[in-house]
Chain A
Amino acid sequence: MTQATPAIRVEGLTQAYGAESDPRRVVALQNTSLSVARGELVALIGPSGCGKSTLLNLMGGLAAPTSGQVLVDGEMIRTPLPRKIAFVFQESTLFPWRTVLENLKLGMAFQGVPKEERDPRARESLNAVGLSDFADHYPSQLSGGMKQRAQLARALALQTDILLMDEPFAALDEQTRMVLGEDLSVLLARTGKTIVFVTHSLVEAVFLADRVAVLTARPGKIKTIIPVNEPHPRSRSFMTSDKLNALRNQLYELLHDEIRATMALGASAGAAETKSLYTVKEEEK
């Protein structure tokens, strides 16, 4: 494997739900290609329901594409590769019946780490995310931000080359996610991992990523890729810089039409909300 082999290579990926003849068929992704270099941090951004999460799941082998392929280190992937790829999900996927430390160890047990290595590795990565004092807490005793840090620690303890994150901070308030973003930048710069993450936040995308891939409205494909060109780790001054602002504005311009297009489609979630509002109103009369 040479330096030139990309860590992840997505080739002509299409993902559709429902048979071709079915009028309800939904094409989530259409003929998408993307290449992620080793040690690179790529953000996926796009309107709701554009297939960002689908793309991420396909990259990690959690689902099989309708057509096209994903190559990880030059090899095709169709099932999860726990030794190469770790995930951080949007909501907390910590097992609520285990303490934080036990959660980390269970992940390593799933991955096949020898028993005696689990404890030191778990404590090390808890330390890295600043949760050492909460090792014996249950997930229900942690705040939202701490839960996400614990999830990140679990992924780090798996010591994979690749980290895939699906809106890891989506459930958090803006202030928490900004500070967590800073921490994450410092942490990830040190690990040298290849990272792909999905986000809704334009600022977060620019602040963390080497390149930001903008997806179109459904059926999703990559519209443009914007390079950020800023060394890691990124500091607080970058967060408030004109450069970040300019990139953010550029992203917003690119996304604007796609978001309008999605809203015109009557994105399922929005439509359902409107509908239920009407039904409730009618009943009151």
Chain B
Amino acid sequence: MNAAHVKFPPATARLAIIAAAFGIWEFAARRFGDPLFIAPPSRVAVALFQLVHEKEIISAVGLTCWELVVAFVLSIVLGLIIGLIVGLNRFTRGSMYPVILLLYAIPQATILPLFVLTFGIGPASKIAFGVSHGVFPVIMTVAAGVQNIEPLLLTSARSMGATRRQILTSVIFPHMVPSFFTGLRLGMTAVLFGVLLAELYVSQSGVGHFTTEFTQTFQPQNLFALVAVLATIAVTLNELCRWAESHFTRWRVS
């Protein structure tokens, strides 16, 4: 279409767009922004360097990371167990799957106060709330992974004399791996949403405490910096999941 123009590699163009967005932000914030509500990127960068030297902030971020990891691990373990129970047996699938779908359709945000009432305002309620988000994608993908196996693969294994155990360990489990990793990625996204929402809702010593403080004391540069740190952590965790997914399912791509 625009063959006459010189085209940059897509990655370069992408970086240019991101840089331009920061430029506009910087200009607009300095020119029109109220310093009580918005901070230009340059001031955020300065705030970021100051924040990473504050012990309280570091320990708050550490605590949130701890909550994320524990909630994620619990989601995987519970999701794997329940997913296998539901997926491997026709009867449990028929009876329990609709129940799980129904529970999944409940907006957990509405029962957040219950988590706080039950588990207190410490890390436990954030972890529990994170698990309540993360466990469902893992259940669904694990159950789907053991179900949607090509029947001919099972027939073929049976024709070669595979025992029930061999079919489980050599056919069904490996077949489940890709969807399991998809579940991990979706579960991670959900855990992030759950834990961070619970943190923002109420927190004594996690990051939620500081987001509230920075908002109420009008320190947008610190708020932006803290959000940037958390976003970086979230993206890193996401990328780790994605890497694990592609690493353990290399056989899928040619």
Does a CB–CB distance below 8 Å link A and B in the complex?
yes
**At the interface, is chain B mostly helix, strand, loop or mixed?**
helix
* Nearest CB of chain A from residue B9's CB, rounded to whole Å: 28
**At the interface, is chain A mostly helix, strand, loop or mixed?**
loop
Chain B residues near A (Cβ < 8 Å): 150, 152-153, 155-163, 166, 170-171, 174-175, 177, 249-254
Q: Does A62 lie within 8 Å of B158, measured CB to CB?
A: yes
In the complex with contacts A110-B166, A140-B252, A93-B153 CB distance below 8 A: yes
A51 contacts the other chain (CB 8 A): no
* Nearest CB of chain B from residue A79's CB, rounded to whole Å: 9
* Nearest CB of chain B from residue A162's CB, rounded to whole Å: 11
Q: Does B159 lie within 8 Å of A87, measured CB to CB?
A: yes
Q: Which residues of B are found within 8 Å of A96, using beta-carbon distances?
A: 251-252
Q: Which residues of B are found within 8 Å of A89, using beta-carbon distances?
A: 152, 155-156
Q: Does B177 lie within 8 Å of A97, measured CB to CB?
A: yes
18 contacts between A and B (CB under 8 A): A60-B159, A62-B159, A80-B158, A80-B159, A83-B161, A86-B160, A87-B159, A93-B152, A93-B156, A95-B153, A95-B174, A97-B251, A107-B160, A109-B170, A110-B160, A110-B163, A140-B251, A140-B252
Cβ contact of B161, chosen from A91, A111, A141, cutoff 8 A: A111
Q: Does A97 lie within 8 Å of B175, measured CB to CB?
A: yes
Q: Does B160 lie within 8 Å of A138, measured CB to CB?
A: no
* Nearest CB of chain A from residue B247's CB, rounded to whole Å: 13
CA distance A27 to B122 in the complex (A): 66
Q: Which residues of A are found within 8 Å of B175, using beta-carbon distances?
A: 97
Q: Which residue of A lies closest to B153 (CB)?
A: A93
A200 contacts the other chain (CB 8 A): no
CA distance A158 to B158 in the complex (A): 13
CA distance A231 to B238 in the complex (A): 63
In the complex with contacts A95-B153, A97-B177, A140-B254 CB distance below 8 A: yes
Q: Count chain B CB atoms within 10 A of each CB in A60, A95, A138, A141 and give the residue with the most.
A: A95
Q: Which residue of B lies closest to A88 (CB)?
A: B156
Q: Which residues of A are found within 8 Å of B162, using beta-carbon distances?
A: 110
